[in-house]
Structure 1
Amino acid sequence: MIPVIYKKAGFLDTLEYVLGKESTVIIDTNMTGKTPAEFNRQFLTTKYIHKAVKRRCAHLIIAIAHREGYHEHLSDSQYNYVAREYLTDMGYLPKEQTNLPPSQYVVVRHHDRDHEHLHIIASRIRLDGSLVDDSYDYFNCQVSTRRIAAELGLEVTPTTSEAITSRLKQEYGIIAPISPNRSKSIRQINSKHKNPTSKEIIRSKIEEAIKDSPTVSTFIQRLEENNIRVLPKMRGLELLGFTYIHNNIKIAGYQVYKPYSWNKLQSEYGLTYDYKRDIAVLEQAKTKAINCRDNITLPEVTSDLENQLSAENKFWAESILPTIGKIWDLANQTGKIKLMDGGIKLLKGKNYKITIKGEELTISSLQDDREIASYNLEKNTVLAANPIDEDKQYWGKLTHKQSTFTQNKDIEFLS
């Protein structure tokens, strides 16, 4: 199976294209209707829950093998299974152990290119307003389709990286070859940069450096050969992780790519550390990295526990964003938003205030003027999240009540 992912602002054009083919068969959907207009009206209902999202439409394509002398075929029920497994793996449908609601979706089978393939049109906004995380969709979609292919006895097509192949082998016992002709990833295709960023370069060089489960010393030496400095974070004799430096850009390992955090480099890629063996290289690497950074302050490489707390706070901040949008919309309708000096828009509640300056939204506590979360509205990303338990309880209560918000009823924040 070969997956392709597109993301667009609107649904109608994609629906008309996919459903307009003569060979179209709707395999599965959790919506009603049959026409592009009917589906589009239902997709638009989630648009207003999460207005900040620009690319709401996910157009997912899955093709099975078709070449001279080799053709694969699946029944409609098998395609239904493929679609649901894939949507679950990618976060559009909930896994059994989660309580997340689903996204709206339509699954269509085509024969328009002399071979069978699926088109899946799904909303990136779930029915509760939460957003499907697509941070690693290019990685995850390759793992998902190859897992499903192996399960159904189909050809397991080559992957684009050693990391994907390693995960397939370790988690599912699936042997997948690596393509000798690697195409650009969706992230690279959509990148605004003509040249790869330092983050992309570091990630690709780490991928090459870990391919044969090396020692920490060999890992560091390989990166240094590619002009990447490595700053180790130590606690006594314990190695906690690395910060990587390329062209004066400094990035912690878990920020380069979550599967390349220090724990995963050991557990999934077999990187080995021995203090007596590696200490000399670690000390040399630290000296080189410090000399390389000039006067720019390096970000602290946090421990795994701190990383987990940071991820937890980020998830919390993302989960309350739909509620913030509802509060702001109602306040705007009732004239409670004040325009301050410098173009700052201010909304005060009983315990917190919300401000918007340019594309940045910030929530702060009125008691101690403490910032608890900030967002980039244009990119729909969390910039910072530092809540205490009291903040989580208050905003959790508001989020729980969001389904009862109406145009004629004040939200607790505003009362």
Structure 2
Amino acid sequence: MIGKQVKGRGFRGLLNYLFDKEGAQLIGGNMVGENPRELAAEFRFLKALNPRVERVVYHASLSVPAREKLDNEKWIAIAQDYLNGMGFNDNQYVIVRHVDRSHDHIHIVASRIKLTGECVHDGWDYRRSEQLIRQLERDYQLEAAHSSWEKDRRSPTTGEWRQRQRTGEDSVREKLQNYIDEAATDCPTMPQLINRLKNEGIDVRVGYTHTGNHGISYQLDGIAISGTHLGREYTFPGLQKYKGVNYCSGHDRAIQRGSDRLPADVEEVQLKRTRIVAQIVSNYLHHIGENEHQSKQYTAGWDEDELVLVRNSDSRQLMRAIYKDNSWQAVERGRLTEADIQFFQRWQQLLIEAQETEQLQRERKQEQRGFQLEP
């Protein structure tokens, strides 16, 4: 069984995404509501018991291999054991089953605020989750399944676990792994990958090892790490084998130019991207007269006075912004990529064309009414 977990701020966008999937089924939980609006209201009510907690949302997904199918009763039992093992024994939660992929899986949405007002401790939660999942495989006689993250991506060290426990932040190594994963999703060429990472503030260097083969290293926040120390899928040959990055000798000159580029100022880049996307999304929500909207790729909506954008494929929050002092400002550091910007700029153009068409239709109707009123 493979498990993933994410902590976030707003329940409504996540619940909309989970319930809107074709075939989604609410199979368990301890709450009264039956739809995203009702459940989000219940979650917000308990959130008031401890307003100091910012990341109140706990989202876990559990999946088994494609050849293994479980009934609802077994999934509910597994989810409850998982929640209890992670410390959620006195918390609101719901279990949603999805059938949109080949492998059987569920999503658990829980509040990190207990009914007593305490917050569930999240120290070492990734390691605890991995150990708990191995135990659940034994308890429920499930086929052992290790994720590609466990096989090809180096696990956090003890020091990195302690850093996350102390600060709540991923280590530089984990951040680099996540950035590279995102930049390589569409199987780019090696020069494209390098330039994408440079645009995210990551200094990528490609050279030659003592054996004459290509080597690659990455630097973020002043810390340089080789591809080998990130994991075998982040080495120069690993990027090609495991992530589908395209390379041929004809790319060498472009790779050298990319390596020589200075990385962008990531804070400045993300602020600029946030302002572009927030304005487009805000205009669109105003145009359709809704507080939230879900497309095939993204879910956007208001969480009180903050505008939130989530990528549907992995439920990752890309943007949280607030309009203040006549401009959009990032509440949290964004994760918007160049591909996101291009998508929303195309979306803006479609919105402008739709508005122009609507205006033209209104003018024609007015002309027709005026013609009919003439004697």
Which bin holds the TM-score, normalised by the shorter protein? 0.3 to 0.5
Greater relative contact order structure (CA < 8 Å, 6+ sep):
2
TM-score by length of structure 1 reads 0.38
TM-score by length of structure 2 reads 0.42
Greater percentage in helix: 2
